Amino acid sequence: MALRGLARRALHRWLPVHLPPQPLVSFSSGIRGHIFLRFSTSSDQPHFMVDYLVSTCGLPPDKAAKAAPRFAHLSSPARPDAALAFLRSRGLTRAQARAVVSWNPAVLLSDVDATIAPKFRAVRSLGLTRAEAARLFALYPPALSMGVNTNLLPRLLLWLDLLGSARLLMKWLAKTWLLRNSVDAILQNLGALRGHGVPEARLAATVRLKPSLILQSPAKLRALAARVDACGVPRGSRMYAWALLTLHNVSDAAFRAKRAAVMRGTGCTEQEFLTMFRRAPCFLFMSAELLRRKVEFLVDTIGCGADHVVRDPVLLTLSLSKRMVPRCRAIEALKARGVDIGKERLVNIVRASEARFVERYILRYSDQAPELLEMYPPGHHKGSSRGDCSTIAGSCSSQGFVDPSTWRHFDSRAFGINLDAIPKDALFVLKKLRREGFEAYLVGGCVRDLLLKRVPKDFDVITTASLQQIKKNIFRRCMIVGRRFPICLLKMNDSVIEVSSFRTVGKRAIKSKEVDYLEELNGYDDGDILRCKNSMRRDFTINGLFFNPMNYKIYDYVNGVRDMRKNKARLTMEMNYIMSYGAAEPSVRLLRKYGLLDILLPFQAAYLSDQMKGRSSDKDLMLMKLLANLDRLFSADRPCHCSLWMALLVFHTALVISPQDTLVIRAFAALLYFGSWESAIEFLKEEEAGAQVPFVPETLGPSQTKLDDLMEQTSHLASLVNSSVLTLTCSDALEQSLVRFSEPP
């Protein structure tokens, strides 16, 4: 209203003709700004802020003229200067400060102490560095207009919790305005995804891969879920989150075009195409033209039947230029040389892991066909056997959902580590392996002891070379020992050095089904991914450190250095990583050996101590059998949800507290598997009653239960399992349950 009155007075004062008063809103913004600037001063000169906004803040003249009326009350640039000086003092570059002012010139009118400074203090209080705080406001200038406690802090806290690090927050702020949506809207979308069966661990990883998934309106998210449902992807399945991500990035028109390209190339039906999508949704990230060329190459060049592509759609996710074509050329070169490579089909060769292909076809025949090293040089592709990389890197990014923001590289000299503390024999082994083209690191307890200023008892080395390569080509006098985890023993002078291989400890992961969902997800250094995956398999965080004395670098992927500084030997990635990543049985055995199981799982520790009396092995115990079977199903590439191993422990606890008839246990398991009592009974009737392995004290003697009473007893077992949760979570219930053991911890 004041602006309108001022304009009216200016018009009546300066125009010779009397004009009837008209509301200023009837003028366009350009005319309004021109009139105001023309008549708001006593001279014909524009307001000084026009020149200030152009020369100092870098605004275009038209935008400066449009913004200048807001500063009409200013007689000097003191307040804008103070705002700009404060922004610069908080780390914003000149260009960033100009970008902030360009978005909202009114920020120059803000009171620094009352309006701008509290926002910077609030952001810094969340743990962001000075540079990160400056970049946040530069990437999202509207944050300077938000209320600190009503909008800014709640939104930042939510996104930091979802993304897990300020680094990822900065990464995605540079691509999209994450902070524009309210906390309630985001929580509503997260709740909707949980309602669709997306597990918590998968949900967090999905958001980190594509935060815009939860930035859309609830209506659009429901429409997206309906598209996924229409494709037949079961809610709660492992592929559901990937299907959401895929269709979020692929429009309906693009989906139809890609479907048509695949159906024309393979001759499959629409239902078969949907089956392909349910098995590997991410092949639709490729363009329709690229999919067409991949299908043609697989069918015409590789000789893969169209039906094989339909059954194994993961083939369409493999890179055409970096994998399929180079491998086929290498195989053709071998055949042209008359090399007998066996009867393995070309499609299986293309499908094989990178490490296996390089070792079996490139290094093996490099003497007979030297051109192979130029056509397919080791180390050029992911997973080469002579580089610090592996094809499990792809699955680590896409399936294991490793968060690279937690990775740390330290300079060993900052910790006062002197290379003189490392024996010459250990340095010789490291240098020789590197001269042969392999990566090699000190690993485990020796790195821990060096950091703690202790004298290591022994030095362990890990390398990208295979054990066979070490024995055959590098250290021919070494011995390969061990069956489950073989290593090379090098006897040098008076010391013995143990050398392990990344490929040995990663054998289970390599054997697991390889899925290269998104090549663009593999933007991180493959050496970091390889070392990170190995560190996850170790017992303690402080034993998961790698040290390269040649470049003075210590690699930490599990916060081992932080835990060491806190004098805290936290188990690797907490208890969940011990139990979920395919190493539950050996980890429990190791924890019991060092007395840690008494602290972490006291009931299971008491059970094992009681059952091991008079036994030489624990392999026949029911608890260890359950954990061993769990390990067979999962690995570091395919971890299980924490609820599964917790359910196993609760189930076993219920049987220890109240032993059950074997038929009741089988009925309970069948009910869980089939989901209906009728199917469970049908399964029990059809199953032949073979020899039952007795477990003491979990099972009773020969089955005396009749089918008529089976439902009641199975229901009773279910209630026991439910109540046994208290035994593992409530201290009072735990103390009562431990009384049954002769030597409770």
Q: What is the pTM of this model?
A: 0.45
**Edge-to-edge strand ranges of the sheet holding 553-556:** 408-411, 553-556, 545-548, 440-443, 460-463, 495-501, 487-492, 479-481
pLDDT per residue over 342-378, tens digit each? 888 888 888 888 878 888 888 788 777 777 766 675 5
d(CA 161, CA 228): 27
> Residue 185: which residues within 8 A CB-CB, separation 6 or more?
217, 218
Angstrom distance (rounded) from CA 377 to CA 221: 45
If we measure between CA atoms, which residue out of 299, 293, 315, 297 comes closest to residue 267?
299
Strand, coil or helix: 414? helix
Q: Are 457 and 445 in contact (CB under 8 A)?
A: yes
CA gap 445, 545 in Å, rounded: 8
Burial code of 312-328, b = ≥16 C-beta within 10 A, e = fewer? Answer: bbbbbbbebeebbebbb
Residue 64 makes CB contacts below 8 A (sequence gap 6+) with 49, 50, 51, 53, 54, 57
- Separation of alpha carbons 105 and 401, rounded Å: 42
pLDDT value of position 485: 76
Per the CB < 8 A criterion, the answer to whether 553 and 410 are in contact is yes
Give the integer Cα–Cα distance in Å for 291 and 317: 9
**Residues 666, 682 contacting (CB under 8 angstroms):** no
Cα–Cα separations (whole angstroms), residue 85 to 54, 116, 485: 17, 12, 62
4-35 burial: b if 16+ Cβ within 10 Å, else e: eebbeeebeeeeeeeeeeeebeeeeeeebbeb
Q: Where in the chain is the domain with CATH 3.30.460.10?
A: 404-509+521-565
Identify the pLDDT of residue 24: 34
What span, in angstroms and rounded, lies between the C-alpha atoms of 328 and 308? Answer: 18
Cα–Cα distance, 188 to 194 (Å, whole number):
10
Query: How many angstroms separate the CA atoms of 245 and 212, rounded?
Result: 10
pLDDT attached to residue 448: 84
Strand-pairing partners, residue 461, are: 442, 499
Residue with tokens 């690090």: 165
In whole angstroms, how far apart are CA 416 and each of 421, 446, 560, 572?
Answer: 11, 15, 17, 25
Bond prior to 697 in cis (omega within 30° of 0)? yes
Task: Tokens for 205, please give them.
Answer: 């990883």
Partner residues linked to 463 by β-bridges: 440, 501
What pLDDT, on the 0 to 100 scale, is given for residue 441? Answer: 93
In the chain, what are the helix, strand and coil shares in percent, each to the nearest 5?
60, 5, 35
Instruction: List per-block mean pLDDT (blocks of 10 residues) for the chain, which spans 745 residues.
Output: 42 39 39 41 60 80 81 83 87 83 84 88 86 87 87 88 84 83 88 82 80 88 89 85 87 90 88 89 87 88 84 87 85 84 84 83 78 62 36 33 66 82 89 88 87 83 88 85 82 84 59 36 63 74 84 85 59 63 85 79 86 83 90 79 84 89 86 82 69 74 68 85 76 66 63
- Structure tokens, 403: 């968060």
Give the span between the Cα atoms of 586 and 291, in whole angstroms: 44
Nearest CA to 149 out of 141, 137, 157 is that of 157
Contacts of residue 730, Cβ cutoff 8 Å, sequence gap at least 6: none
For tokens 């054998």, what's the residue? Answer: 507
Contact 553, 409 (CB under 8 A): yes
Cα–Cα distance measured from residue 203 to residue 190, given in angstroms and rounded to the nearest whole number: 8
Question: Alpha-carbon distance 141 to 135, whole Å?
Answer: 10
Which amino acid is present at 198? Answer: V
Contacts of range 426-432, beta carbons closer than 8 Å, 24 or more positions apart: 426/459, 426/461, 426/495, 426/497, 427/549, 428/492, 429/461, 429/475, 429/490, 429/492, 429/497, 429/499, 430/461, 430/549, 430/550, 431/550, 432/474, 432/475
Predicted pLDDT at 6 = 39
Under 8 Å CB-to-CB from 246, ≥6 apart: which residues?
281, 282, 284, 285
Tokens of 446: 């020796």
The two structure tokens encoding residue 41: 């001063």
Q: 483 and 477 in contact (C-beta within 8 Å)?
A: no
Query: What tokens appear for 139 in the block?
Result: 């990437």
CATH class of 404-509+521-565: alpha beta
Give whole-number Cα distances, 498 to 216, 480, 486, in Å. 54, 10, 10
545-581: string of b/e by CB count within 10 Å (b at 16+)?
bbbbbeeeebbbbbbbbebbeeeebbbbbebbbbbbb
Contact 385, 393 (CB under 8 A): no
**Two tokens, residue 468:** 């066979």
Identify the residue whose tokens are 């979308």.
189
